[in-house]
Amino acid sequence: MRGLLESIRLVYGYDFTEYSEPSLGRRINHFMENRKIADIHALAKVILRDEGLFEQFVQDVTVTVTEMFRDPSFYKSLREKIRTRLATYPLIRVWIAGCATGEEVYSIAILLKEEGLLERSLIYATDINQRSLQKARDGIFPMSQMAAYTANYLKSGGKRSFSDYYLAKYEGVLMDKTLRQAIVFSVHNLTTDQSFNEFQLILCRNVLIYFNHSLQNKVIHLFYESLCPFGILALGNKESLLFSDNREEYKVMDKKERIFIKQ
pLDDT value at position 61?
A: 85
Q: Quick one: which H or E segment has residue 179?
A: helix 177-180
pLDDT tier at 201, thresholds 50, 70, 90: very high
For the chain, where do the domains classified as CATH 3.40.50.150 start and end? Answer: 72-139+176-262
Task: Report the percent of the chain where pLDDT is more than 70.
Answer: 99
Q: Is the pLDDT of residue 92 over 80?
A: yes
Q: What is the mean pLDDT of the chain?
A: 93
Cα dist from 219 to 100, 102, 115, 122, 147, whole Å: 17, 21, 29, 22, 35
Assessment of whether the complete model's pTM goes beyond 0.85: yes
pLDDT value at position 227?
A: 98
Residues 154-179 have a mean pLDDT of: 95
- Closest by alpha carbon to 219, among 59, 63, 98? 98
Strand order in the sheet with 250-254: 183-187, 121-127, 92-97, 199-204, 227-235, 259-262, 250-254
Q: Is the pLDDT of residue 18 over 70?
A: yes
- Under CATH, which number does the domain 72-139+176-262 receive? 3.40.50.150
pLDDT tier at 13, thresholds 50, 70, 90: confident
pLDDT tier at 114, thresholds 50, 70, 90: very high
- Count CA within 13 A, CB hemisphere, residue 202: 28
pLDDT tier at 63, thresholds 50, 70, 90: low
Pairing of strands 92-97, 140-142: unpaired
Cα dist from 167 to 159, 170, 180, 236, 245, whole Å: 18, 10, 13, 30, 45
pLDDT value at position 169?
A: 87
pLDDT tier at 126, thresholds 50, 70, 90: very high
φ/ψ (deg, to 5) at 57: -60, -50
